[in-house]
Amino acid sequence: MKTIHKTATVALALTMSLGIVSTSFAATGHVAPRHAAAPAISITFWNSGSNPGIIAITNQFNKMYKGRYNIAYRAIPYNNETEIVNSALAAHKGPDVLEESLTPSAPYAYERLEVPIAPILRMGGVDPADFPASMWNGTQVAGVHYVVPIDGLPTLFFWNKTLFKEAGLNPNVPPANQAQFIHDAMVLNNAKKDQWGYVQEPAWPNPFLFPSLLSQFGGKEADPSSRKILFDTQAGVNALTFEYNTIFKWHVSPKNASANENYNLFLSGKNAMVMDGAYQYAPFLQKYGKNLGVSLLPKIGPKEADFLGQNYLWVMNTPGMDAAKEKGIGLYLKFYYDHSAEVAQSATLPTWVPYLKSAAFKKTYPSLYEESLALDSGVLNPLIPNWGTTSSTYLYQDLDLALLGKMSPAAALKDAGQKMQEEMATLLG
Amino acid sequence: MKMDRVKRTISVVILSIGALCILFPIAWMISTALKPLSDAFDGQLIPSHPTLSNFTALFAPDAAGSVARWLGNSLFVSITVSILVMIIDSMAAFALARLQFFGRTALFYIVVVSLVVPFIALLIPLYLEFANANLLDTYWVLILPYTSNAFGVFLLYQFFLGIPKELEEAAMMDGVNKFQLWRRIMVPLSIPATATLGLLTFMNVYNDFFWPLVATTSQDMRTMTVGVQLMAVGQYNTNASLLMALTLCSVIPMVLAFLFAQKQLTQGIATTGTNL
Amino acid sequence: MAVSEVRTKSLSIHRRRRPVMRVVWDQFSSFLFVVPFLVAFVAFVGYPLVYGFIISLHHWNPIAGDLGYTGLGQYATLFNPNSLFGQQFWTGLKNTVLYVVISVPLLLAFPVTIAYLIYRSPLKSLFRSIFFFPTVLSVTAVTSLWSWILQTQGGAVNNLLQAHVPWLVEQPWAWISIDMATLWWTLGFNMIIAYAGFTQLPQSTIEAAALDGAGSLRTFWSIALPQVRPVLAFITVISTISSFNLFAQSLLMTGGGPGSSTEPLTMVIYNQAFNGMHMGSAAAMSYLMALILAIISLVQYRITRERA
Candidate CATH numbers 3.30.70.1520, 1.10.3720.10, 3.30.70.270, 1.10.10.10; the one for domain C80-307: 1.10.3720.10
ipTM above 0.95, yes or no: no
Nearest-Å Rg of the Cα atoms of chain C is 26
The domain ranges of chain A are: 41-153+309-379, 154-308+382-424
Per the CB < 8 Å rule, is C168 touching A86? no
Give the DSSP H/E element, type plus range, for residue A47.
strand A41-48
Q: Is the pLDDT of residue C59 over 80?
A: yes
C174-184: average pLDDT: 93
> B 55-84 residues with CB below 8 A of C?
none
C260 vs A96 pLDDT, higher one: A96
Per the CB < 8 Å rule, is B269 touching C192? yes
Average pLDDT, chain C: 84
pLDDT along chain A (429 residues), means of 10: 45 48 45 56 91 91 93 89 88 91 87 92 94 92 92 92 93 92 92 89 90 94 91 94 94 88 89 92 88 92 92 91 93 95 90 93 90 92 86 89 92 93 78
Average pLDDT, chain B: 83
Superfamily holding A41-153+309-379: Periplasmic binding protein-like II (3.40.190.10)
Q: Is the pLDDT of residue C20 over 90?
A: no
Per the CB < 8 Å rule, is A31 touching B218? yes
Instruction: Report the residue from A108, A199, A203 with minimal CB separation from C257.
Output: A203
Each residue of C196-212: pLDDT tens digit? 777 767 777 777 777 77
Percentage of chain B beyond pLDDT 90 is 24
Compute the distance between CA of residue C131 and CA of residue B31 in angstroms, rounded to an integer: 20
C65 three-state secondary structure: strand
Each residue of C273-297: pLDDT tens digit? 887 788 899 999 999 999 999 888 8
From chain B, pick out residues whose CB is under 8 angstroms from the CB of C245: 118
Per the CB < 8 Å rule, is C164 touching A86? no
Bridge partners for A98 per DSSP: A46, A314
Residue B39, pLDDT score:
80
pLDDT band at C2 (very low <50, low <70, confident <90, very high): very low
Per the CB < 8 Å rule, is A79 touching B231? no
pLDDT band at C16 (very low <50, low <70, confident <90, very high): low
Per the CB < 8 Å rule, is A107 touching C63? yes
Pairing of strands C58-61, A147-160: unpaired
Compute the distance between CA of residue A268 and CA of residue A287 in angstroms, rounded to an integer: 9
Cis bond upstream, residue C62 (ω within 30): no
The domain ranges of chain B are: 2-59, 67-275
Residue B274, pLDDT score:
40
Each residue of B56-108: pLDDT tens digit? 877 776 544 578 888 899 999 999 999 999 999 999 988 888 888 888 888 88
The domain ranges of chain C are: 2-56, 80-307
Compute the distance between CA of residue C40 and CA of residue C56 in angstroms, rounded to an integer: 23
Contacting partners of chain B (3+ CB pairs under 8 A): A, C
Residue A81, pLDDT score:
87
Compute the distance between CA of residue C183 and CA of residue B203 in angstroms, rounded to an integer: 18
Instruction: Report the residue from C147, C164, C275 with minimal CB separation from A386.
Output: C275
Per the CB < 8 Å rule, is C258 touching A401? yes
Residue B254, pLDDT score:
86
Residue C151, pLDDT score:
87
Closest CA to C235 of C136, C140, C304, C145: C304
Residue C277, pLDDT score:
81
- State the CATH architecture for B67-275: Orthogonal Bundle (1.10)
Q: Is the pLDDT of residue B273 over 50?
A: no
B158-173: average pLDDT: 76
Each residue of B117-152: pLDDT tens digit? 888 888 889 999 999 898 888 999 999 999 988 888
Residue C305, pLDDT score:
66
Q: Which residue of A has its CA nearest to B42?
A: A268
Q: Is the pLDDT of residue C116 over 80?
A: yes
The domain over range A154-308+382-424 is classified in CATH as 3.40.190.10: yes
Residue A149, pLDDT score:
94
Instruction: Report the residue from B32, B118, B238 with minimal CB separation from C290.
Output: B118
Residue C50, pLDDT score:
92
Residue B152, pLDDT score:
85
Residue C195, pLDDT score:
81
Distance from CA of B132 to the nearest CA of A (A): 7
pLDDT band at B219 (very low <50, low <70, confident <90, very high): confident
Residue B20, pLDDT score:
94
